[in-house]
Chain A
Amino acid sequence: MLSIENLSVVIRRPGRQVAALNDITFAVRPGEVVGLVGESGGGKSMVARAIVGLLPDGSHATGRVVFDDADVLGMDEVALAAHRGRGVAICFQNPRGALSPTRTVGRQLVDRLVTHQNMPVDRAREAARELFEAVGIRSPQRRLDAYPHELSGGMAQRVMISLATGCAPGLLIADEPTTGLDVTLTREILRQFRHAADTDGRGVLLISHDLASIAEVCDRVVVLYAGTVVESGPAAQVLREPAHPYTRALLRSVPDVGGRPVVATAGAMPLLTRAPQNCPFVARCGHADDTCAARRPTTEPLAGGPDGWSLACFHPQAGPIGAEPEPVRAIPAADPAVGPQAKSTVLEIDDAHVVYRSRFGSGGHHALRGVSLRVAAGETLGVVGESGCGKSTLAKLVMGLVSPTSGAVTVAGHSLVRQPGRAHLRGRALRQARTRAQLVFQDPIGSLSPRRTVADSIAEPLRAAGLSAAERAARVAAVLDRMELDRSILQRYPHELSGGQAQRVGIARALVGEPDLIVFDEPTSALDVTVQAQILTVISEVTADKDRAAVFISHDLATVRGFADRVVVLYLGRIVEEGPVDVVFDHPRHPYTMALLASAPRLGGGTGAGGDAVELVKDLEEADATTGCPLAARCPFVTDTCRTQQQHLQPYGASRAACWRAPELAALTGKQATTP
């Protein structure tokens, strides 16, 4: 159906030239889901643009993009419009941004059906309802009249899929469709694409940076690096035993819930100005030799591999990843021997509630509902949960950026904000106390003052301590070496930094004042995969420090497993389970934890627990937690007790969980998700 042959795209602009795609060849057949993976800048989006005939100004394309026997590159505007209407449809990364905000989603879908399918309006409305049902939208009639801002991210993405499939296109392209969605939703959305391929015989091209998460629904994957196809083949085999060193590096960069260590690959993807004469991965590859530096490998079928598995490499690797020693550094696993009892408590939260009151009228958002926890020096606490569960509020609470509505928060013996019935610091004493806890932000560039140099930003905590300019410069230089950053970065501004550099600067700022506690709020979620691995290596060194406590907040269970000594699972502002990280991950007690683990992708074997996985029955937004257990509306094990009464955290062995049915769950789920 779609066949791309030797496609090269060069973008010429005054003063610069970018070789965006170099000799790309692959095909998508009807009923097939093909995954296009690679880091940002690798050319994934450019391929999508070439397929819909939307290459940017100044680009020169050679080769062929054949769709249903016609070359898209040679089409005129009229032919392109028809091609885009019926041939190819795209789902975008940011579904809410792609939907018109002032019209109901039903209206938008109906309009489209009327325009492109020539349906009468009442028939189109009926068809729209069916489409909503087909993509798993519950109560579709009601959703038709919803505006985009009333939909959750997952729901909006479903609407986008229904819009895309509505005109029965032959090929569906999804550009990072699950970025920003939670693990449970990601899985559900990806299944919708598989469904579209299976039931309607469409071809689907899934674009993603995360090989592990999309591999489950893909038939084949194509791996892009610096605008070249480095490896392509059957998804399951490529995922299990990737042959190209880059594919292996990509997979090793991603933490795994099973506890496999993350291995960072140094360096960054080159920005090519002309078609490469050698292997583009040569500078970062552990297996590279003189041949790789001198010649560009051609794409050859893998010897002994199944049909359609080919790669461009002089040194194909074999075997599952992680089996062989690699010439790169690994993150050491967290040391479980550290006893929290022995050390002093750095952070203590006691029954904290946070309610954001709306400015107008009554009501408000109850973000945290009675959270208690403590973290000792040398300990790392992991905090996991879906978006909206109160993770970020917890971070702000710890940092003294929001006050608890009730309850108490103590950081290194001080109260940072006005709290009911407690003394609180002011002036210089408060400013110094604040620097005892430091936050590493999710958005690395946004957390740096745009018009301040890197040197200024890093030195900020030292100002509060009253250090002289010379002392500040010395401390900044020392921490810069620790972050492996070059001195030349000091005079730069945030917009001149890459995401990875900016996050290193953020960590440097957090470290420079030698705080007692560092909070990492999703520190890698805005970064590219191999950069993530590099940053995680840095963080693991930071958290290994025995004098310091750390809180690591993430929606990604696998990442938390790599660092944390203990883990806390948050759901709708409550702690539903807590305990030592290995115990919670290997023997989860709460259905919510089980569901989270089940939907986390695992390398070489689908997702978490296979057939016995616990699945939540509804999306988060449809669950209302008025009385009883907050999970009651979504839990498959729900009883009447759950609906009416809230269970508190109860000890089960080394961990604690808040679930009425925890004692019997192991029997209910048959064999439990045990060792990886």
Chain B
Amino acid sequence: MPKSLFIDPNELGKKGAIAFADIPVNQYQKSVTEAKKEDGFKNKDLVRIYRDMTVLREFESMLNQIKTQGEYAGLKTSYPGPAHLSLGQESAAVGQAYLLDQDDIMFGSHRSHGEILAKSLSSIEKLSDKQLMDIMENFLEGRILRTLEKVFTPKSTKELAIYFLLYGTLTEIFARENGFHMGMGGSMHAFFLPFGVYPNNAIVGGSGPVSIGGALFKKCNNKKGLVVCNIGDGSLGCGPVWEAFNFSAMDQFSTLWPEGKQGGLPIVFNIFNNGYGMGGQTRGETMAYDFLARIGSGITPSQMHAERVWGLNPLAVIDAYKRKREILNQNGGPILLDVVTYRHSGHSTSDQNAYRAKEEIAAWQEIDPCLVFRKDLVDAGCAKDAEFDAIWEETRERMAKICQWASDEKISPYVDFANDNRVVERIMFTNEKKDAMEDAKSVTLIPKEESARVKQIAGKERSAFKDGKPVSKMKTYNMRDAIFEPILDKFYEDPTLITYGEDVRDWGGAFAVYRGLDEVLDHSRLFNSPISEAAIVGSAVGYGMAGGRSVVELMYCDFIGRAGDEIFNQMSKWQAMSAGILNMPMVLRVSVGSKYGAQHSQDWTALCAHIPGLKVCFPATPYEAKGMMQEALDGQDPVVFFESQRLYDMGEMFEPGGVPMEKYSLPFGFVNQVRHGEDITILTIGATLYKAAEAADILKEKYNLTADIINLCSLTPLDYTKIVASVKKTGRVVLASDASTRGSFLNDIARNITELCFTDLDAPPVVVGAKNWITPPFEFDEFFFPQASWILDAIHENVLPLPGHETTVSYTPVEVMRQAKEGV
């Protein structure tokens, strides 16, 4: 797309071949003695590596015993949640964490207890006592620390920190209030930000797109450290993971991004290759790569610096990270590591191992790193066998105490839902505004007033009418301008704000909302993404977790399906699953199309409004758009911002005085009453507002009936106050939008109105939606989308007969029954 990049036919037509470099496989072959000599490992470092492995092993053994026998260390206890254990994978996790520090952050999978503990133990080792105490004092206002102080006296701060880590993790798994996030995440969503441990993720491959957002944050905001994306070999069957690979390696980082921000993202895709995706054997059954590391060569010319690492040897993994960090320091990311490991336990504790032979498990248990590495250390004279026995004893003692405290409801109570059933409601949204996510200076290319677009907007009429006459299209301040203005302002206010999506830069967005923005921003703040909806949304989620604000765009609403997990499971849930520790300052713009047929014309507000944790709005006038966008950008909650392609040209037709020049915001929950009447209430979502206005004109002219028209520009949250007042007044209500009628969000509103206004209703609320068909070609729009006449039909047939009205669409019970019965 950029004109600076020339697609040269001569170049493309040349004869040649693509050369691949060898991909290293298990190249690390040093003995412990050699490692000590060549890489400077001290005995105590090596023993500590083993100590950490015992912690991981014993933690998972504990969960295994609790789940399978209801008992650990003589204590009867249990919990109903999941346990995807990584028994056998300890060396890989500890090796990975060994060199990582607090600035390095990692994201995980459903099987990430080990990684969380290893990274945290590594951080505890590297942080000073004061830093550790600050972290423990400040985390959840010191709640976990206070509990621990009551039950034991630690020998040292580091000892206390280890207990803090194990206790916070186990209580999280046990769904206790003392968990790292009040038990709201649980086993598959545990994390601890102060040690650089970002969320693990219950969706296989879910961390793929999310973690590139963390890396994007580091790159765009000049932050130290690298990002590790821990996913399993099973996730390589997931499209979003491949999207993430590509996104992290886009050419533009080198060709178009500004000085200092060049090169691929600082990320290591660490695939813990344990051979199975649940029971499906990846190599030989479900995948095609033979060697997992091979796939790096399909992504970048650098082959993602991919290599296979023998994860059963922690020193091999440490070696790999040491070398890969160097590459990342040279902006050489992304990295792909195929870390071979093996889980001794099943996928979960209900796994009967029907898919693998006992002999196979036995063969791997023979080379159990907890046995082999210990022997290697003893053989190399790092420590005597007895010392390792002592380490084991200490670990088991720790775990027994932790298990006892975490199981005891007096020490570790559950969140008191019985007496406080709004506990989750309080952590769903922050509802707090923050003008800028960081204090740094916002980098822009020119002063705002020099922007050609700003000057153009300044010359426009803020209203669709001037002196009672329509203003020409070109001179009208329209929806595009209304969406653009607050975004532009925010770019000058918040240094972390970035925006991306398909064709947002040179093209200015497919519908020209961002026209002129490329004059103001370099590529690190405004860039074209690949056609990777999952990566677009998922990366914005990770960017938000890391502390940055973004506005990302899916060109058409219909593409929501391509980012289903990222919108419905990631964007929406992390604030509450983190008990409010994470914020999600992201705005997802989606545009409801027209003219382009069945896969480009759908209003999917209902899908988004259905999902708890999302704020959803659909402004239909420039006044609403500017105010809602400002509100969305100022907040820290995830917003799905619907727009309509029918309305981009629309000037302000309702707001007296037009769209204000100055900054203002319209709160979530806001509904916009654009007409005032007495006889009927018409509620609208999206472009149907204008059909409703047309219908209201006919009602007035032909039937002497006046209508309240209320446009529901905020869908979640939604304040019913004005709606109820109107319906109580008129007793009649029709709801209209371009969404297909079945399952339309309007049905939810209609149901609530029925309940809230039951005795005031003169007729049941009628929903006027699009047909439950595919969208036919634009030529047949009037047969598919609600028209003004349909609104009259609905009123005539279900609410108030309109003398002489001839219906075009039937809203009779017979027709309702027929459509439902036929599923159309």
A, B in one complex: no
> Taking beta carbons and an 8 Å cutoff, which residues of B are in contact with A?
none
> Taking beta carbons and an 8 Å cutoff, which residues of A are in contact with B?
none
